[in-house]
Chain A
């Protein structure tokens, strides 16, 4: 079934009525499916969801996030992941299963203020979400520039099948790691490229809802000025 035309909606607005499944950011009132946030409605294959245009980051299983170590206990680190919930990184994830709080010192590996690229293992809201940094492309971040954008703009920054972010990376020679939580790390050997990449990211955040954004970004990347 073709997806119906997407519409801008605000909380309380009816998207459709009838035999549809109410998915993310919607709820049912009798037969009506209603949006619960400001966003873009998306109807496909008989289900309705709304893509948010604002709002914070809420941890989901398997999300890639960038976090900052803010504290630790004997057995784990507490990580700020730009959400109302802090992440929990168990010491065993870094030291291995033979971790012993007597002989292994957490601060020797990660201290307050350190940034990490992590994956969310378990985001059950009754406890703090569980993180891991053992995996390809995960771990402590040693260099680069940290940029923060609104988490709701991340999909636009990535683009269809990564097209937007790839366009920026190839135009600037930068390497950009994007956390679903709105934090990104940009590394670039060339300082001009770094600045261009940051400007591109800021442009996308500001104009995420505008049509021809891709052209505007392209134009900006190709211009000679800073």
Chain B
């Protein structure tokens, strides 16, 4: 668990002063995210992988693919599961042990962003109906924490899944067997991208770093797909938003999300 750092009052005052002029500590404008870099196939043994770095926050996502028994009521669909954990190396206050509510929330929001967007056509991932399906697992490991884990996990996961290679299987004696050296492209129809915004006073900031995270009043993460539709949303933090602020946040998430989507697209081009 990473405790919200107690920010020193001088820094907080400075942040609030700058906001009045529409500026931030690191020189960005309010609606500007940090620089994003994405490298794919960083873990060759995994079926897909990506390292996403947004400012100083870094996440490594690995995709593992394996045959699974389907859930009883969805025998005609493959399985998808996304997780996230904050490694103890990521921050001085990160601890080992069972996941705290913060981390549970991070994992579930990441999972929902991919699942609800219908990024993958789950019906294309069946080996034998009701018996054997393809399971896709994407696990995010936060290696460096400078705020806004929601977005970095989203980008790493989208990039890793978009660039993964699905092994081919054939059924032999009712059991799936991998055909070595043969792969399929994953059935992808859209690229979900999340944008996290925080409210500090009356100001909305996109992609908060750790300092800004430490003085947020409320936060919201909105995930959009390639059509510019909203597929997932999560409000957090100890305060609320006005109706107008929530409308504005949706508009920002569509605009900023589109730009980020282009970065992910070019990073994963031609990978599978």
Direct contact of A and B (CB under 8 A): no
